[in-house]
């Protein structure tokens, strides 16, 4: 007698052939391409086009001679913080030095492919749409196959466009192709990792978290390995990370094509595991059993704030660690920033203009913390958008049907959208100030300035959180447009400062009003102006939320 697993069809009665398991792949791929018609081209182009037009072109103009690039490479190899963040420089050619900072792209493309795969697999199952599709003539493997084709194809396209962008600058085509394939390899491997976590977990949030945890572990292995190795032999830890493999291909410094076989082998095995796991589970279920919660909620979950803490704490912790580490990197390189720029007066003038002071170190701190402020604004938008997600998922309706008012519910999430950036920026300022002080030998003199540079970004950060709340209260369907506002502000800040855009246009961007500290006297008027605008947007959003229906 044979026993069938609950929810599964006994093998002796399974009349579906291997071919029918993939029925509908092309139709689902067309659907996914339509749904990602904006997001997919955006991340593909952002991770490819700037490689030649920004990275290599800037290195060519800033470090035109081999001596300048050799000095720059020596500075990088002597800095464990920069080695950990971006990896080593393996040659002094324009191509090798130009793509050094693009080493971070191997992690960024992994983020994009993870989100793509989870969105079209586990998130669709969680919403119930996959079950509806499965009741039609769509095979069991069709959804996962289409999602992987989209993510793998996007990663490969980003790599090829990146190779063309690099080749257009005049660097060797072989090295350009090597970097493009290395970039694609990183994205493809983590798309497969996401495919596995989508089978293991029953919720999209947990699947994303497990995939990102894997990405964080591999990034840490690569970072520690490169920081310990310095200019010496490759550390074994680097070989334990797909991002490390991508760097070890060494474009423009030998083009070690054989390393791509590591990506291919891991990709093949991981995809095979994902399909094997898919075969063993039911639609909507995960292979990892969900932990049963207590029969009654603890004291921390008796109100909306406790629920907001449970929903937001992981995101705050992740952003705090990430931005804090960048603050640490900034602090570790400030003391030697003049040596990094060498004798290039153009770059020095650019940094002092964007930083707003004549002191190169102070200007660099001001500019760098403005970039960290932009990261803090991204967190603030993400935290405020949690309300949008709760309402879309029909969870807000359950909360608001009890003895919880709308203002109280919104306020519980605003604690994180407004207070979370304070924690993040303080962490970055503290770590940066300590690193700068240790390098300069005077923590007391450097720490206050770094903390000030971090905290003056808060009004601009709050502006974007408030704009998100205003959209949520007035036009909830268009709440994600807040990301577009932040993107536009970044474009104005970066391009406007460099190209000399009209001042009225630059004034529309909130970060341009942040006082240029350290190095200049603190002016409270711009801070109060941006804070007042943010407060007004918050008030508008709260009024709109109180007067509209829950969607």
Q: What is the pLDDT of residue 340?
A: 54
Same domain, 257 and 358: no
Domain contains 402 = yes
Other C-beta atoms lying within 10 Å of the C-beta of residue 305:
17
Are 304 and 395 contacting, i.e. CB atoms less than 8 angstroms apart?
Answer: no
CA pair distance 235, 232, nearest whole angstrom:
8
Kindly tell me if the per-residue pLDDT of 493 is higher than 70.
Answer: yes
Where would I find the H helices in 342-474?
345-355, 360-392, 395-400, 406-440, 443-455, 458-474
Q: Are residues 217 and 89 in the same domain?
A: yes
Q: Any residues with CB less than 8 A from the CB of 250 and at least 6 apart, and which?
A: 90, 91, 96, 178, 256
* pTM beyond 0.85, yes or no: no
23 in any annotated domain: no
Classify residue 21: in a domain, yes or no: no
| Domain's final residue, options 258, 287, 316 | 287
Give percent above pLDDT 90 in the chain.
36
Domain end (from 287, 312, 337):
287
Q: How far apart are CA 91 and CA 256, in angstroms?
A: 13
Give me the number of domains the chain comprises: 2
Q: Which of 255, 287, 319 is the last residue of a domain?
A: 287
- Token pair for residue 485? 């506002």
Shared domain check, 332 and 273: no
Is residue 546 included in any domain, yes or no?
Answer: yes
Range of the domain at 464: 301-551
Q: What is the Cα–Cα distance from 495 to 481, expressed in whole angstroms?
A: 21
389 within some domain? yes
Residues 280 and 313 in one domain: no
If you average pLDDT over each of 83-87, 93-97, 278-282, 340-344, which comes out highest? Answer: 93-97
pLDDT at 433 over 80: yes
Residues 265 and 309 in one domain: no
Are residues 140 and 224 both part of a single domain? yes
pLDDT of the residue at 345: 58
Distance CA 107, CA 121 (A): 21
512 plus 549 within the same structural domain: yes
- What integer best gives the mean pLDDT of the chain? 84
Percent of the chain with pLDDT over 70: 88
- Same-domain status, 228 and 112: yes
Same domain, 142 and 166: yes
Whether 220 and 161 share a structural domain: yes
The answer to the question of residue 19 being in a domain is: no
**pLDDT tens digits, residue range 238-265?**
999 999 999 999 999 989 999 999 999 9
- Omega before 518 within 30 of 0, i.e. cis: yes
DSSP code at position 520: S
Q: Measured between alpha carbons, how far is 465 from 482 in angstroms, rounded to an integer?
A: 9
Question: Does some domain include residue 53?
Answer: yes
Residue with tokens 């990602």, as numbered in its chain: 36
Domain match, 404 and 516 both: yes
Which pLDDT value is given to residue 517? 78
Environment class of residue 323 by beta-carbon count within 10 Å: exposed (0-12), middle (13-18) or buried (19+)? Answer: buried
Is the domain of 373 the same as that of 318?
A: yes
404, pLDDT greater than 50: yes
Say how far apart CA 464 and CA 236 lie, in whole Å: 43
Residue with tokens 């009004």: 459
In a domain, 322, yes or no: yes
Whole-number Å distance between alpha carbons of 255 and 253: 6
């Amino acid at each position: 007698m044979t026993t069938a697993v609950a929810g599964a069809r006994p093998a002796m009665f399974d009349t579906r052939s291997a071919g029918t398991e993939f029925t509908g792949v092309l139709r689902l791929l067309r659907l996914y391409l339509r749904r990602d018609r904006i997001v997919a081209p955006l991340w593909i182009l952002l991770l490819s086009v700037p490689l030649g037009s920004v990275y290599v072109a800037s290195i060519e103009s800033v470090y035109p001679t081999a001596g300048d690039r050799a000095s720059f490479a020596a500075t990088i190899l002597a800095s464990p913080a920069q080695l950990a963040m971006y990896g080593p420089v393996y040659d002094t050619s324009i191509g090798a030095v130009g793509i050094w900072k693009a080493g971070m792209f191997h992690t960024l493309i992994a983020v994009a492919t993870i989100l793509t795969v989870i969105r079209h697999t586990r998130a669709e199952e969680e919403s119930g749409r996959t079950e509806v599709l499965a009741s039609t003539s769509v095979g069991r493997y069709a959804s996962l196959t289409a999602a992987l084709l989209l993510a793998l194809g996007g990663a490969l396209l980003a790599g090829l466009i990146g190779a063309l962008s690099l080749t257009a600058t005049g660097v060797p085509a072989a090295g350009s192709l090597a970097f493009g394939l290395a970039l694609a390899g990183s994205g493809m491997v983590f798309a497969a990792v996401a495919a596995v976590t989508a089978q293991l977990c029953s919720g999209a949030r947990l699947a994303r978290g497990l995939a990102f945890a894997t990405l964080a572990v591999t990034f840490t292995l690569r970072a520690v390995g490169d920081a310990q190795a310095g200019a010496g032999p490759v550390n074994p830890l680097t070989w334990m990370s797909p991002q490390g493999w991508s760097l070890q291909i060494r474009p423009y410094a030998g083009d070690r094509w054989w390393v791509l076989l590591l990506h291919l082998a891991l990709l093949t095995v991981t995809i095979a595991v994902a399909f094997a796991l898919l075969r063993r589970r039911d639609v909507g279920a995960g292979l990892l059993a969900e932990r049963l919660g207590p029969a009654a909620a603890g004291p921390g979950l008796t109100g909306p704030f406790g629920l907001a803490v449970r929903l937001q704490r992981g995101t705050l912790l992740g952003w705090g660690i990430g931005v804090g580490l960048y603050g640490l990197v900034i602090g570790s390189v400030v003391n030697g920033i003049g040596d990094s720029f060498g004798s290039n007066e153009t770059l020095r003038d650019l940094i002092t203009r964007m930083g707003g002071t004549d002191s190169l170190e102070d200007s660099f701190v001001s500019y760098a913390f403005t970039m960290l402020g932009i990261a803090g604004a991204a967190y603030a938008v993400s935290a405020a958008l949690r309300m949008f997600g709760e309402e879309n998922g029909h969870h807000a309706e359950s909360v608001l049907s009890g003895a919880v008012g709308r203002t109280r519910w919104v306020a519980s999430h605003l604690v994180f959208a407004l207070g979370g950036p304070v924690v993040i920026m303080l962490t970055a300022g503290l770590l940066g100030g300590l690193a700068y002080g240790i390098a300069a030998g005077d923590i007391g003199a450097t720490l206050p300035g770094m903390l000030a540079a971090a905290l003056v970004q808060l009004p601009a950060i709050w502006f974007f959180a408030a704009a998100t709340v205003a959209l949520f209260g007035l036009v909830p369907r268009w709440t994600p447009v807040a990301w577009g506002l932040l993107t536009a502000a970044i474009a104005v800040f970066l391009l406007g400062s460099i190209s000399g855009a009209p001042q009225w246009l630059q004034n529309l961007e909130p970060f341009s009003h942040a006082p240029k500290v350290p190095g200049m006297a603190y002016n409270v008027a711009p801070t109060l102006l941006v804070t007042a605008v943010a407060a007004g947007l918050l008030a508008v959003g709260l009024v709109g939320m109180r007067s509209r229906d829950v969607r």
